[in-house]
Amino acid sequence: MSMKITGISGSPNARGNNERIIELALSIAEEKGYETDKILLSKLKILPCTDCGTCRTAKECPIDDDMTDIYEKLETSDAFIVTSPVFFGSMSAQLKALFDRTILLRRNGFLLKGKVGGAIAVGGSRNGGQEFTINAIHSWMHIHGMLVAGDMAHFGGIAVKPVESDEVGLKTVKDTVNMICETLARFK
Ligand SMILES: Cc1cc2nc3c(=O)[nH]c(=O)nc-3n(C[C@H](O)[C@H](O)[C@H](O)COP(=O)(O)O)c2cc1C
């Protein structure tokens, strides 16, 4: 059975820099024979976790929104490539809302444990907080017990908009996808 890599874009902009980057990242994975899937937060509505505690005793979240389908996508993925715009030096609120809601999967058997994850951040400035943003995404991965991949040299994909003309940034994105695929290949 082929392994599935899911791209998650935390940008509210449809066809923005993050979505274009996730497209590129997934096309590289597809060329290598991986199945891919996408979660684009520009198209989905995910409310923040309210710490109601329901998921402590049942694999259930009382918030009725697009997260229901996402749980299934996350559980059935072998790896994630997560990209976020840098908003005030960290990830977007849209992505943070998704991350917080995944506590349900952690409380019900660490269902994301052992999956592979890599991160990308896109900013409007060269040094706008991409590394910190990647670090925050990596924290989500570590707290789920995932295996975190960088770009073989540093932390992940670090890009400045418009991403198409950021050659250095595009290389870190490609290297991050390659690192995720190489890590997955060890489990084949
Ligand atoms: C509320 C807000 C805060 C932002 N803060 C930062 C920042 O701290 N550092 C930075 O480099 N860019 C910042 N930007 C620019 C965005 O990171 C940039 O427009 C985004 O990565 C573009 O991605 P997209 O085209 O996928 O939306 C900010 C943009 C917004 C709307």
Query: 115-128 pLDDT, tens per residue?
Result: 999 999 999 999 99
CA distance to 88, 113, 125, per residue, from 158 (Å): 16, 25, 11
Q: How far is CA 180 from the centre of its chain?
A: 12
CATH number, span 4-185: 3.40.50.360
pTM for the model stands at 0.98
Residue 188 pLDDT greater than 90, yes or no: no
Most informative mutation of 18, 21, 87 for ligand 1 (most atoms within 8 A of CB): 87
- Percent of the chain at pLDDT above 90? 98
For residue 151, give both structure tokens.
């770009």
> 168: helix, coil or strand?
helix
Handedness of CA 131, 125, 169, 90 (dihedral sign): positive
Q: Ligand 1 mean position to 86 CA, how many Å?
A: 5
Q: Ligand 1 mean position to 67 CA, how many Å?
A: 24
Residue 41: partners with Cβ closer than 8 Å, 6 or more residues away: 8, 9, 10, 11, 12, 92, 94, 95, 98
